Amino acid sequence: MSEPVTNELPPAIFLMGPTASGKTALALELVKRYPCEIISVDSALIYKGMDIGTAKPDAAMLAEAPHRLIDLIDPAEAYSAATFRNDALREMADITAAGKVPLLVGGTMMYFKFLRDGSAELPTADEAIRAQLLEDGLKYGWPEMHRRLAEVDPESARRLKPMDSQRIQRALEVWMVSGKNLSDHWAEQNSEPLPYHVVNLAVCPPDRKRLHDRIAERYRIMMSQGFVEEVRGLWQRGDLHENMPSVRCVGYRQVWDYLEGRTDYDEMVERGIIATRQLAKRQITWLRSWPDLHWLDTDDPDILRNALKILNANAIFSAST
């Protein structure tokens, strides 16, 4: 096994990509052969009991390649990108201290951005205001709440879609609590450079249809594995609702609507696949603006070798790897 090359900054790898693109498969190959440890960068894998719909690694895979920052909280609890940054930095320091390379794998691009750039100092949540905004959103509709946001924070409103309830709610909450809009908070943020020498990799099929086919295939496999029953268990708890971040995870919201009787089975499956494709499109849009990114083809038989060429050229592993 090779040793990481010593740099002024310790090495780290960002392995990004849209959902169903093959990130985990490549990460497992890297861990088998090189001194890496995986940190999950996925806002759905943090939830306990949400396994099938998140494509969470099973026990055998975790025994072979442990993943940090999965199964952190109950689906009723909250978790932020800023909290992720703190947790990830702690885990990265622990991996580095053990003489290994942190391998950060996932598709939650906001988490990657917070980790890379630092976070703005935002006011803490105000439960009373949050509850009022949720009540207004359900009563008047989220397009109306989006219109309200445009009046006080036009920049945030331009970035958000009228039905992006969670982010609209948070942006309005920030303005109501602090008297300052979210965009101004971000403009005033202090940059906190990540103290690592990072190589950025992205896995994706160059053909969009190929990615769509992979998404549909994986979604149908999830259904055969008992995804509906997994969501039914959450639905029957009684303490979760459709506006919670956990239930709004792609796939889960569509099954939730099915259990509520809003759609039939076939429509639920189709909506789940469409929502996953939309997520992948957003992820790819993020990635296209990511600096110093090395793209890898999911279906390339030499993907591991090509990834290693990039890592070696950027002094992540020694030339003898």
- What number of CA atoms fall less than 13 Å from residue 257's CA on the CB side? 18
Residues of the chain with pLDDT under 70: 1-7, 120-121, 185-191, 318-321
pLDDT digits (tens, 9 = 90+) for 143-161: 998 998 899 888 888 888 8
> Hey, what are 163's tokens?
């039905």
Fold classified for 127-187: Histone, subunit A (1.10.20)
pTM attached to this predicted model? 0.82
CB atoms within 10 A of CB 237: 12
Pair 264, 258: CB distance under 8 Å: yes
- pLDDT tens string 173-183: 888 888 888 77
Q: Domain 11-119+197-313 falls in which CATH fold?
A: Rossmann fold (3.40.50)
**Segments making up each domain of the chain, as ranges:** 11-119+197-313, 127-187
Instruction: Tell me the C-alpha distance between 152 and 104, whole Å.
Output: 36
